Amino acid sequence: MWNGLKISEVFFEEYGLPMLEKDFAEYKDQIAAGLAGQTSECFGYDDYISRDHDYAPGFCLWLPEDLKKKIGDDLQKAYDDLPVQEFILNHRSDVGMAEPSNIMTGARSHRVGVHSIEEFFYEHTGMTHAPVTTEDWLATPQMHLAEAVNGKVFRDPSAKFSSIRNVWAGFYPEDVMKKKVAADLAMAGKTGQFNYIRSIKRGDVGAAYCCVTEFIYKITAALFLLNGRYMPYYKWRFRAMNEFTTLSSVIEPLLRLSQMSEEESSGKVELIERISGEIVKELVKRGWSSGYSDYLLDNAKLIMKTISDTEIASWNVFVGED
């Protein structure tokens, strides 16, 4: 059975592209097509559960803002008129559904169809252009950048859409990436290795829970960075980590840590230190740390010393955390 991305691509090839060639021949080479953004289909993670709402064949059409003003309404109408039900019936065994999901929240119509190039990137990155400055790279949370570069571009004759997308997809410049890793590990050390134990000693169960939760989040963010990946939003983080090639050994203890009760505080401390130790080994391997300390905050400060950009290197270690 096809996943949502495959469904989208075949639907475009069979109905979308012929529509562009027939009704928008004059403009078709300025229009990019694909599927990217929010929803599980864009990440390739959709399954049978995903099909209970907002699930139907569809794709995105991206064009310059000035062209959208000119033909956007007509293009959207042509898109809306595409025979979705006919496509489903023709590919019932591959699509795995008899009709579009009968629970449509309205978000679906916003995520597919006609968008300007500028609109798409502004929605996901806060900018209409490719990043230029350090501030540009640090301005947008990883989860939104993941949505800007996921999925697939089916066609882009002018390359206007892809030229911006490819810069974001190329990932953070090394100094920016190091700064973000340092910030995430610094906070992971403060919450998991330092304040969790203090909270337990105080009998503050709420604070202890927050410390472990924050530790898991910051370690996860750092793991994505160290794997050269943008971290998706919370629902798909552990699913995406199954694809890691770096520090994959840390995933199982992270999962165990997330499932342990507050009565298992000594076991949590052991797992926190085990996870931290594995990450320190990776930092040493990269030449970012001497490994003299297992405390992640100490290692974060050592990472800062390897940053070439003097301005970034001068920032507080916690600046740039996700």
Q: Enter the tokens of residue 135.
A: 């501030």
Asked which of 113, 144, 169 is the last residue of a domain, the reply is: 169
Angstrom distance (rounded) from CA 25 to CA 258: 54
Read off the pLDDT of each residue in 146-168 and give the average, rounded to a whole number.
98
Asked which of 107, 137, 169 is the last residue of a domain, the reply is: 169
Is residue 158 within 8 Å of 280, Cβ to Cβ? Answer: no
> Which residue did the predictor score with more confidence, 276 or 106?
276
The answer to whether residues 242 and 291 belong to one domain is yes
Asked which of 119, 137, 169 is the last residue of a domain, the reply is: 169
Q: Which domain holds residue 49?
A: 4-169
The answer to whether residues 86 and 9 belong to one domain is yes
Is residue 314 within 8 Å of 180, Cβ to Cβ? Answer: no
SS3 91: coil
Look at residue 103 and tell me whether its pLDDT is greater than 60: no
The answer to whether residues 160 and 31 belong to one domain is yes
What is the largest distance, in Å, between two alpha-carbon atoms of the chain? Answer: 72
* Tens digits of residue pLDDT in 278-316: 999 999 999 999 999 999 999 999 999 999 999 999 999
Angstrom distance (rounded) from CA 251 to CA 271: 11
* Tens digits of residue pLDDT in 28-83: 999 999 999 998 999 999 887 877 667 789 999 999 999 999 999 999 999 999 99
The answer to whether residues 155 and 216 belong to one domain is no
The answer to whether residues 91 and 146 belong to one domain is yes
The answer to whether residues 47 and 100 belong to one domain is yes
Angstrom distance (rounded) from CA 178 to CA 186: 12
Q: What is this structure's pTM?
A: 0.92
Q: How far is CA 47 from CA 52, 105, 218, in A?
A: 10, 19, 28
Is residue 215 within 8 Å of 274, Cβ to Cβ? Answer: no
The answer to whether residues 47 and 70 belong to one domain is yes
CA 70 vs. chain centroid, Å, equals 32
The answer to whether residues 75 and 198 belong to one domain is no
